[in-house]
Amino acid sequence: MPRTLHPLRSDKIVILGAGPCGLACADELTRLGHRNWTLLEAAPAAGGLAASVVDPVGFTWDLGGHVVFSHFGEFDRLLATLFAPSELLHHDRSSYVRFRDRWVPYPFQQHLHHLPAEDAEACLHDLLVACQRREQGLPVDADFSTWLHGMYGSGLVERFFGPYNSKVWAMSPEQMASSWVAERLAPVSPDEIMAAFSGAAPPARRWGPNSTFVFPARGGTGEIWRRLAARLDDGRLRTGARVVMVDPVARTVTLADGERVGFDHLVATGPLNRIAAMTAGVPGSVQAAAARLRHTTVAMVGLGYRAPTIDERSWLYFPQADVPFYRATNFSKYAPANVPGADTNTFSAWMTETSMLPRTRLDFRRLISTCDQSVRRQGLVPEHAPLASAHLELIEYAYPVPTVDRDAALAEVVPWLEARRIYPRGRFGTWRYEIGNMDHAVKMGLDIARRLVNGTVEGLLPPASVAVNGCRA
């Protein structure tokens, strides 16, 4: 049976990365009475991929399009301890896809009656054919492209799903698995779509877990993690502490300045391929498996305009090739304080995201100019609105890509690390996009803390191949 340890006799737990997962782990260890932990963060401040920045003009930007919603009561309760109700703004999602000369409500596949007649007819025909064939079942372990064709038909794939997903993932859907889809893509009901074409009202239900969401009134998404970091014990959270080597035999991590920090258990929330590369003694086969993992890099270009915030939509999708970004977020709509002086009568802010393969050579000035031109051309701001600010953040590790060989790679890398008391968690620790939201990351942080102290089973991950019955006394 798992042992519950007295906190005075507990082992040393070192956590790498002060993003949502690492912060939640440290906070839960404290709540459990386990005081012997250290949280190491390479950046100057906590937050990780969920951090926010303020540019020189006074616009606040997130590192990508985050919204706060939850699958877990534990995440909701954490948020309630950090914010008073008045400090969170509540939104109903209003999202659209740009298609040819019009805006089509999201999810695209549920609103085919908004398309031009020729496109609508082709998409509807192919969708109905796909629905008939789907009764025979989709191929097991189908790649993403095969899954899309089998679920939605060629018309929708050619017009939306193919170009959009190639743009988001910086690779073709044929290179990706379909096992990650779950709640990420909306289902379609042929009966409801046909009813909409016949003039009946479209379905009133709102699809998806982010159909409603909250956002901090001030400070961007990063304000959540600044507050959580602030309540951790002084001295246990160390920023500017970059780990360059992990020795699983000596059970030490070495920092960039040469300092060594000992551990009994290591919770690693950074990118799994980097953890494997910096860990001593990793077999060549495990290193090769880690090297097969793929991810995207995203350039977040924040564009602040001297023009009132009048657009009421939340975010917009752009599958077409002549727009560099795949998504534009109406950031001044999220919270007035995201613009200087919280003056949305004077300012508006659009946060754009452009995906690319890692190590892509990028002309920053050209990208900013192209994004600005596209925002104006798509009518998001007046054509001659003065540009008050242009801010670019290059997010090297943005999304882990669920490639066709991802699960096989993880099956080699993760058990080897866990056998040596190194536990990869969080968006890039697990490398599972399907559990890559902030609430998932928090849940993983809470669960690994409980597993290490009390030996309880983690909720989001499959059972580890190596049993861990709590820390050693």
Q: Are residues 308 and 270 in the same domain?
A: no
Q: Are residues 397 and 365 in the same domain?
A: yes
Q: Are residues 310 and 416 in the same domain?
A: no
Q: Are residues 316 and 214 in the same domain?
A: yes
Q: Are residues 354 and 396 in the same domain?
A: yes
Last residue of a domain, one of 367, 384, 401: 401
The CA distance from 146 to 154, in Å, is 10
Query: Is 176 among the domain residues?
Result: yes
Residue 268: count other Cβ atoms within 10 Å of its Cβ. 28
Query: Is 348 among the domain residues?
Result: yes
Query: Is 226 among the domain residues?
Result: no
What is the per-residue pLDDT for 4?
42
Helices (H) and strands (E) counted in the chain, each on its own, are 15, 19
* Token pair of 414 as six digits: 């993760």
The CA distance from 431 to 444, in Å, is 13
Q: What is the CATH number of the domain that holds 338?
A: 3.90.660.20
List, in order, residues 6 or more apart from 229 with CB less than 8 Å away: 18, 23, 45, 46, 47, 237
Which residues span the domain enclosing 183?
A: 108-197
What is the per-residue pLDDT for 463?
60
- Count structural domains, the chain: 3
What is the per-residue pLDDT for 469?
39
What is the per-residue pLDDT for 66?
86
Q: Are residues 283 and 415 in the same domain?
A: yes
Q: Are residues 146 and 284 in the same domain?
A: no
What is the per-residue pLDDT for 194?
81
Q: Are residues 381 and 431 in the same domain?
A: no
Query: Is 19 among the domain residues?
Result: yes
Q: What is the pLDDT along the chain (473 residues), one digit of tens a residue?
A: 334 434 334 699 999 999 999 999 999 999 999 999 999 999 999 999 999 999 999 999 999 888 887 788 899 999 999 999 999 999 998 999 999 999 999 999 989 999 999 999 999 999 999 988 877 777 778 999 999 999 999 999 999 999 999 999 999 999 999 988 866 676 777 888 888 887 765 555 566 677 789 999 999 999 999 999 999 977 899 999 999 999 999 999 999 999 999 999 999 999 999 999 999 999 999 999 999 999 999 999 999 999 999 999 999 999 999 999 999 999 999 999 999 999 999 999 999 999 999 999 999 999 999 999 999 999 999 999 999 999 999 999 999 999 999 999 999 999 999 999 999 999 999 999 999 999 999 999 999 999 999 999 999 986 644 344 343 32
Candidates 266, 285, 284, 263; CA nearest to 275 is 266
Q: Are residues 320 and 445 in the same domain?
A: no
Query: Is 2 among the domain residues?
Result: no
Q: Are residues 387 and 318 in the same domain?
A: yes
Q: What is the CATH number of the domain that holds 164?
A: 1.10.3110
* Token pair of 262 as six digits: 């000992």
Candidates 214, 247, 277, 240; CA nearest to 39 is 240
Q: Are residues 388 and 316 in the same domain?
A: yes
| Cα radius of gyration (the chain) | 23
Q: Which residues of 357-392 are buried (b: 16+ CB within 10 A; e: fewer)?
A: eeeeeeeeeebbebbbebbbebebbeeebebbbbbb
Query: Is 440 among the domain residues?
Result: yes
Instruction: Please write the tens of the pLDDT for every residue from 56-69.
Output: 999 999 998 888 87
The CA distance from 25 to 378, in Å, is 43
What is the per-residue pLDDT for 63?
94
Residue 447 sits at the vertex; the CA angle it makes with 14 and 262, to the nearest 5 degrees, is 10
Would you say 93 and 211 are in contact if contact means Cβ atoms under 8 Å apart?
Answer: yes
What is the per-residue pLDDT for 234?
75
Q: What is the CATH number of the domain that holds 425?
A: 3.50.50.60
120 to each of 111, 123, 126, 129, 205, how far by Cα in Å?
9, 5, 10, 14, 22
Cα dihedral 16, 17, 22, 27 in deg (nearest 10): 90
Would you say 357 and 296 are in contact if contact means Cβ atoms under 8 Å apart?
Answer: yes
376 to each of 47, 281, 371, 379, how far by Cα in Å?
32, 53, 9, 5
Q: Are residues 187 and 130 in the same domain?
A: yes
Candidates 296, 331, 292; CA nearest to 311 is 331
Query: Is 245 among the domain residues?
Result: yes
- Residue 107: cis peptide before it, omega within 30 degrees of 0: yes
Alpha helices in 109-221 (DSSP H): 117-134, 144-152, 154-156, 162-169, 190-197
